[in-house]
Structure 1
Amino acid sequence: MPDSNFRDRPDAERLRVIRSQYADANIKTVQTFLDLQFVYRDVQAKYEQVLSDYDLSESRFILLMFLAHAPQGLPVSALAEKLGVTKATTSKLLDRMTTGGFVEKIADSQDKRAVVIRLTPSGRACLSRFLPVNFQTINSLLGRLSADEQGQLDLLLTKMIASPVDEKV
């Protein structure tokens, strides 16, 4: 599989050739999209490296944060819903996190057949060590943007998220 962080992006000439072959190819839009992909991949790779230094993935980190804000614990179904994945996917993730000592499965006091997932002291300690680094990393990744530029980026990203994708494709 090719490197997903490709460096050979189409230049203006290659995009003009594409434009001559495909009438719907808006060169500026394509360049902006490619730049967005490039930035996303670069930021994601840097962030994943920081996460891995703490034996975390993005999903593990998010799960720990959900559980940190639910001291009584949460059922697997609630965690799956919050993550936007299936219960089976969540269960696999939780099995690895249980083995790693980040979380524990406790019998539900209301329904003995069900389990509630709680953060362990080890999971809480991991979060305590990671969160300062997390915020330093985020500051570093966005640090080249002024406060006004960060506000503009936020508005643009919000606008993109709110725009429905054309279903014709």
Structure 2
Amino acid sequence: MFELKDLPSRDTLARFADEYGNPDVEGLHTWLTWASATNQMLSAFDENLARHGLSQTNFFVLLLLKRNPEGLTVGALAEGVSVASQTMTRAVAKMEANGLCSKHEDPLDGRLWIVRLTPEGEAALARVLPRHYEWVAELMSAFTEKERASLAKLMVKVGPALALRTSGNGTG
């Protein structure tokens, strides 16, 4: 979560650049604007899901299980949602208690559990997905097709840029 609401002006960034040696004031300004907008978008996403009694983890687990009707292991769900296995174990237990999914012993490996979507989980998706799609459509209506294409093209570059920074090839 990005916690800074009071974003600094370009003048402040320029003063700090002189004092602390920032070589890219415009890059920092762009990053701050982007991080703030991303945080606002994700907060609104969380609020929208909460109206339906779901968290992002629950929502994404339901979607993964819908896409994989044969079920998925807790580990595969954790990887698919980018949370720790322990976090997913707790999430699945709560979802199972709420009737959204069920756990079954893996017939190939008795140490593993296969998680499957239940009819109640299907019903939850049927309630939430149309409203989620409406919410996304409303948000994205602020952008032209050309802007959407540009945004998507730019966002695809984020992963490789971050990988470069964390691989030891760059500073940061």
TM-score with structure 1 length normalisation? 0.89
1:76 and 1:87 in contact (8 A); partners too:
yes
Q: Distance in 1 between matches of 2:37 and 2:95?
A: 30
Match of 1:99 among 94, 97, 100: 97
What displacement does 1:109 show?
3.2
Whether the 8 Å contact between 2:16 and 2:22 is mirrored in structure 1 is no
**Aligned-pair distance for 1:23?**
2.0
Q: Is structure 2 residue 57 aligned with structure 1 residue 84?
A: no
Give the Cα separation in 1 of the matches to 2:149 and 2:135. Answer: 18
CA contact (8 A) 1:101 1:122 kept: yes
Shift of 1:165: 1.8
In the alignment, which of 46, 49, 52 is matched to residue 48 of structure 1?
46
Percent identical across equivalent pairs?
A: 26
Offset of 1:87 from its aligned partner? 2.1
Structure 2 length-normalised TM: 0.88
The 1-side partners of 2:69 and 2:36 are apart by 39
Q: CA deviation at 1:5?
A: 5.7
Superimposed CA distance per residue, residues 89-143 of structure 1 (whole angstroms, 9 cap, x where no aligned partner): 2101111111121111123334444321111111110001111111111112221
Decide whether the 8 Å contact of 2:101 with 2:121 is kept in 1.
yes
Matches within 5 A, 1:2-151: 4=3, 6=5, 8-151=6-149
Whole-Å Cα distance in 1 between the matches of residues 20 and 73 of structure 2? Answer: 50
Gap regions ≥5 residues in structure 1: none
Corresponding letter in the other structure for 1:46: A
- 8 Å CA contact retained: 2:78, 2:88: yes
Alignment CA distance shift 1:116-1:11 (3 Å): same
C-alpha separation in 1, matches of 2:48 and 2:129: 11
Length, aligned pairs only: 166
Q: Which amino acid aligns with 2:9?
A: D
RMSD of the TM alignment (CA)? 1.8
Provide runs of 4+ in structure 1 moved above 6 Å. Answer: none
